[in-house]
Amino acid sequence: MLPNINSVTARVLDALKIQLISAPNATCCGALRYHLNDQDGGLSNAKQNIDAWWPLVEQGVGVIVMTASSCGVMVKDYGHLLANDPIYAHKAKKISELTKDIAEILPTLQSKLVDLIGADQKPGVVCHPPCTLQHSQQILGKVEGLLISLGISVRLCNDNHLCCGSAGTYSVTQPELSERSFV
């Protein structure tokens, strides 16, 4: 839904001398359809992605990078969702094993990022870590720690542990509410 996130991620990884390869036939991860009670459609998206990524896996790609935590949850679950599929079970399991959220990757590169960006004081941010990052993927405090190491003060919003209700869909089905500012 926000394609600029992928291009910004590519620029950051490029600056860190990490090659990002795009799979042109990859599509939506399937989470939106799956969570809106179209499980068959969601699994169809999953299979299309597996088919798009598999040649790259066979060529030795080491990581499949997710830039949206809800997509990361879905792709990391492909192995479970397709465990009984005779054609896709093995491939889905491998794809799930290779999938990493960008919030898992960047903190491992903290010293390189500090060298690139510096650790001098910068404007602060208020952060609401996605519930899919906190609860489903159990990636806690890594983004905040990375930002702090870069000189960015971080303040967590009140009730940041609560789920927003989105799972990738609430903001689409309830646009007026999701765009409302609560200050």
Q: What is the CA radius of gyration of the chain?
A: 17
φ, ψ of residue 170 to 5 degrees: the values are -60, -40
Span 41-61, pLDDT tens digits: 999 999 999 999 999 999 999
Which stretch, 26-40, 129-143, 156-170, has highest mean pLDDT? 26-40
pTM score:
0.84
Q: Which contiguous run of DSSP H or E holds residue 153?
A: strand 152-156
Span 11-31, pLDDT tens digits: 999 999 998 898 989 999 999
Rounded to whole angstroms, how far apart are CA atoms 113 and 12? 9
The pLDDT of residue 138 is above 90: no
DSSP string, 78-102: HHHHTTT-TTTHHHHHHHHHHEEEH
The pLDDT of residue 164 is above 90: no
CA 41, 46, 51, 53 dihedral sign is positive
Domain edges within the chain: 4-103, 119-179
Question: Taking each helix axis from N to C terminus, what angle separates 39-58 and 69-76, rounded to the nearest 10 degrees?
Answer: 80
